[in-house]
């Protein structure tokens, strides 16, 4: 058991061909994370380009309506490109550039990471190719066009279940063919070491800001932080600053699809078991023979059969609780936040809103819940209309 | 010396790969026996995995077909037990780590040993993680095959001394599949191994013609062919025994033409 472990989870379970490439990345990252110029350039981009810090918004109407804890929304949806993904890609693409790479490749589920990567690549003059499950290119057609506008080449992936996991497979395969000029920009806290650590470090700004903003406004820590979990980058980013504050309850919301008692879910912690896939040891939805399960969620961004290795460890130690949220609950929450606060959340983030609606009424009015609104919902509007049976003549 | 290493003694070895359970278990069983008879020195049986990240399209599709047709790890174990009574050709399983963990690492390897499997190849288990299986392999007498690739460079000095059975030398970057041209300096890779170890080296990835097989065999102790065989199975299905046997014989000629073993 060597590098990049979170308890027993993590590691580097990848073909030999990629081992020197991840080693090179680790070395470069270890250098640049302490490099003042690099950090300064990244901070400037986050501030002047991505729009950080993102707002911590007190949702007064929602608080009143639920009648319990005070609700704050961490507005990652207001970032440039509409989600938290930009935090990570600005860091990774800048790192790629410093490493002398000229091309970045990435997987995408909902398209948010693909759009963010294409954006950073456009900004920093890098060639960009995005792999996206064919199923997802249909669910998120607008994001495909967005990536193309930004100059990226989008490859629909037709193998396997044609969703996020297959997009990761294909991006890893592509990377093994070309590493000298190319960096794989992972979209979440997953994959082989050092990706889970690098992505976490680029996303932990979310929690750092929550801590600072809430302490300025209320002079205290929150009682609970809720975030959705697919691979788990916005949630790790939100939680990390609070792991050593035991008074802060940390809650991850997984996609239960049509229910965890049906095969159509993507709730890895609730229904998966320990395994090794996509370069890491963690929890995965799989059958008795270790075949990866064809998972399902209305949310393309959470439709993934695994979870980042640090989450597996946080689950094992009990520091974070994970709850499954069904499609129905998420769609309800999507509509709820739209009407209640005039904010249309990403369907991924709506999973976190859904759990907050259950939790807040059980808490008292002095207590505080922060919900990370990881992205905005524009991309989901057509799919939600379809789900609700509304014809919008797309 | 393990059965696998023995298979390289005195001549250049030809290692053939097929995906287990494609198109069905019965055909796989017949194919293994036919390939052994037609001149393969070792046979690699792929346990299909849902997400084979090191494979090109040909083996990806074969894996999907096998799983679709109900192939499981248990059925392959049963098949290998039957085959083992009819042939002494060294047999290897090629699969990913998750099917092994899902089955139970100890249970998997002791069943391998019981049914007559001699080695395993796990492409998503690099040197740094081989502790997952190395000890159990040792106890059960199964060779855990190490891979080196054109990007391994200085890693070869770490990998080669601990390798067992043979070293799988990956000819090219990328995934498995047929290539018209193999341009990597494989001779140099093998030279690096030679400086450290006497373990046999077999070249795989991209080889499909008798000429390529011959050229590659000159550089190493053996060659590995997968996708080209799997492609014939894809085309002929249950009727692939004869065309695969023919193909095996043609490759065997190419390999034999490369002369005797270096050792």
Residues of chain A above pLDDT 70, percent: 99
Q: Are strands A9-13 and A56-58 parallel, antiparallel or unpaired?
A: unpaired
- Put simply, whether B149 touches A (Cβ < 8 Å) is yes
Q: What is the pLDDT of residue B259?
A: 72
Residue A1 has pLDDT above 50, yes or no: no
CB contact under 8 A, B155 and A16: yes
Residue A213 dihedral angles phi and psi, to the nearest 5°: -65, -40
Tokens of B90: 């060294």
CA torsion angle for A240, A245, A247, A249 (degrees, to 10)? 10
Residue pair A107/A132 in contact (Cβ under 8 Å)? The answer is: yes
- Chain A residues in contact with B122 (beta carbon < 8 A): none
Residue A162 has pLDDT above 80, yes or no: yes
Q: Which candidate from A3, A288, A292 shows the least CB-CB separation from B51?
A: A292
Q: Which candidate from B102, B126, B170 shows the least CB-CB separation from A14?
A: B126
C-alpha–C-alpha distance, residues A388 and A15, integer Å: 44
How does pLDDT run across B143-162, given as a tens digit for each residue?
A: 999 999 999 999 999 999 99
Identify the active-site residue in A54, A74, A76, A85. A85
| Whole-structure pTM value | 0.96
Tokens of B51: 């997400």
How does pLDDT run across A219-236, given as a tens digit for each residue?
A: 999 999 999 999 999 999
Residue A317 has pLDDT above 50, yes or no: yes
Q: What is the pLDDT of residue B197?
A: 95
Closest CA to B199 of B4, B14, B42, B45: B4
- Chain A residues in contact with B175 (beta carbon < 8 A): 173, 176-177
Nearest residue of A to residue B108 by CA position? A289
C-alpha–C-alpha distance, residues A34 and A230, integer Å: 29
Q: Which candidate from B53, B123, B151 shows the least CB-CB separation from A169?
A: B53
Question: Residue A269: how many CB atoms within 10 A of its CB?
Answer: 22
How does pLDDT run across B196-216, given as a tens digit for each residue?
A: 999 999 999 999 999 999 999
Question: Known catalytic residue: A85?
Answer: yes
Residue B178 has pLDDT above 70, yes or no: yes
Burial class (CB in 10 A: 0-12, 13-18, 19+), A115: buried
User: What domains, with CATH codes, occur in chain B?
Assistant: 13-256 (3.20.20.70)
C-alpha–C-alpha distance, residues B91 and B16, integer Å: 10
CA distances B165 to A29, A124, B6, B161, B206, Å, are 37, 48, 9, 12, 22
Query: Residues 309..328 of A with a Cβ closer than 8 Å to B: which?
Result: none
Burial class (CB in 10 A: 0-12, 13-18, 19+), B113: middle
CB contact under 8 A, A17 and B150: yes
Mean pLDDT, chain A, integer: 96
CB contact under 8 A, B131 and A1: yes
Cβ contacts from A onto B, under 8 A: 119
How does pLDDT run across B215-232, given as a tens digit for each residue?
A: 999 999 999 999 999 999
DSSP for A18-60, please give it: HHHHHHHHHHHHHHHTT-HHHHHHHHHIIIIIS-PSPPEEE-H
Tokens of A302: 């959470």
Give the gyration radius of chain B's Cα atoms.
17
Identify the active-site residue in A26, A76, A107, A341. A107
For an interface test with B, the pick among A1, A17, A190, A280 (most B C-beta atoms closer than 10 Å) comes out as A17
Q: What is the pLDDT of residue B260?
A: 65
C-alpha–C-alpha distance, residues A344 and A375, integer Å: 9
How distant is the Cα of A277 from the closest Cα of chain B, in angstroms?
A: 7
- In the block, tokens 């081989």 appear at B130
- Put simply, whether A278 touches B (Cβ < 8 Å) is yes
- Chain A residues in contact with B101 (beta carbon < 8 A): 274-276, 290
Burial class (CB in 10 A: 0-12, 13-18, 19+), A252: buried
C-alpha–C-alpha distance, residues A147 and A128, integer Å: 9
Residue B180 has pLDDT above 90, yes or no: no
C-alpha–C-alpha distance, residues A354 and A182, integer Å: 39
Question: Known catalytic residue: A107?
Answer: yes
Longest dimension (CA), chain B: 46
CB contact under 8 A, B98 and A284: yes
């Amino acid at each position: 058991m060597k590098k990049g472990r979170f308890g027993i989870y993590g590691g580097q379970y990848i073909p030999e061909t990629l081992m020197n490439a991840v080693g090179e990345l680790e070395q470069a990252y270890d250098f640049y994370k302490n490099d003042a110029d690099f950090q300064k350039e990244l901070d400037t981009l986050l501030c002047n380009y991505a729009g950080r810090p993102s707002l911590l918004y007190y949702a007064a109407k929602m608080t009143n309506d639920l009648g319990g804890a005070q609700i704050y929304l961490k507005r990652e949806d207001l970032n440039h490109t509409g989600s938290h993904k930009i935090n990570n890609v600005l860091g990774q693409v800048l790192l790629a550039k410093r490493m002398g790479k000229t091309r970045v490749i990435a997987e995408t589920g909902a398209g948010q990471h693909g759009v963010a990567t294409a954006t950073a690549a456009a900004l920093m003059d890098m060639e960009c190719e995005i792999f996206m499950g064919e199923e997802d290119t249909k669910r998120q057609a607008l994001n495909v066009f967005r990536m193309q506008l930004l100059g990226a080449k989008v490859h629909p992936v037709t193998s396997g279940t044609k969703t996020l996991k297959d997009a990761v497979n294909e991006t890893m395969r592509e990377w093994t063919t070309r590493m000298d000029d190319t960096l794989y920009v992972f979209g979440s806290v997953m994959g082989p070491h050092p990706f889970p650590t690098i992505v976490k470090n680029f996303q932990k700004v979310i929690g750092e800001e929550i801590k600072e903003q809430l302490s300025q406004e209320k002079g205290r820590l929150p009682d609970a932080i809720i975030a959705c979990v697919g691979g788990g980058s916005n949630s790790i980013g939100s939680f990390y600053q609070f792991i050593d504050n035991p008074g802060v309850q940390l809650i991850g919301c997984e996609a239960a699809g049509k229910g965890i008692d049906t095969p159509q879910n993507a709730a890895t912690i609730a229904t998966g078991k320990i395994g090794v896939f996509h370069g890491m040891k963690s929890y995965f939805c799989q059958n008795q023979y270790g075949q990866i399960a064809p998972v399902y969620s209305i949310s393309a961004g959470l439709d993934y059969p695994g979870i980042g290795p640090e989450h597996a460890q946080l689950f094992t130690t009990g520091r974070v609780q994970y709850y499954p949220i069904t499609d129905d609950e998420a769609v309800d929450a999507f509509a709820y936040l739209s009407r209640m606060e005039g904010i249309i959340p990403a369907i991924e983030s709506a999973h976190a809103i859904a759990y907050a609606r259950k939790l807040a009424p059980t808490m008292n009015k002095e207590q505080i819940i922060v919900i990370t609104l990881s992205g905005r919902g524009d991309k989901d509007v057509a799919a939600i209309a379809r789900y609700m049976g509304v014809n919008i003549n797309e | 010396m393990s059965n696998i290493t023995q298979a390289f003694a005195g001549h250049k070895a030809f290692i053939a790969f097929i995906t287990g359970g494609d198109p069905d278990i019965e055909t796989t069983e017949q194919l293994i026996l036919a390939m052994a008879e037609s001149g393969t020195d070792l046979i690699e049986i792929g346990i299909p995995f849902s997400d084979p990240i090191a494979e090109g399209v040909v083996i990806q599709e074969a894996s999907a077909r096998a799983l679709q047709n109900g192939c499981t790890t248990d059925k392959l174990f049963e098949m290998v037990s039957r085959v083992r009574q009819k042939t002494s050709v060294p047999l290897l399983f090629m699969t990913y780590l998750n099917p092994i963990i899902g089955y139970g690492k100890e249970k998997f390897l002791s069943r391998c040993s019981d049914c007559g499997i001699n080695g395993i190849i796990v492409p998503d288990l690099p040197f740094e993680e081989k502790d997952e299986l190395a000890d159990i392999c040792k106890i059960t007498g199964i060779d855990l095959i190490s891979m080196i690739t054109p990007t391994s460079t200085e890693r070869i000095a770490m990998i080669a001394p601990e390798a067992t059975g043979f070293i799988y030398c990956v000819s090219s970057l990328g995934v498995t599949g047929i290539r018209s041209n193999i341009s990597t300096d494989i001779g140099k890779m093998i030279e690096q191994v030679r400086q450290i170890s006497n373990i046999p080296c077999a070249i795989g990835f991209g080889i499909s013609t008798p000429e390529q097989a011959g050229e590659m065999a000159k550089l190493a102790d053996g060659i590995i062919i997968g996708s080209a065989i799997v492609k014939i199975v894809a085309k002929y299905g249950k009727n692939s025994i004869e065309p695969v046997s023919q193909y095996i014989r043609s490759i065997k000629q190419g390999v034999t033409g490369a002369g005797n073993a270096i050792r």
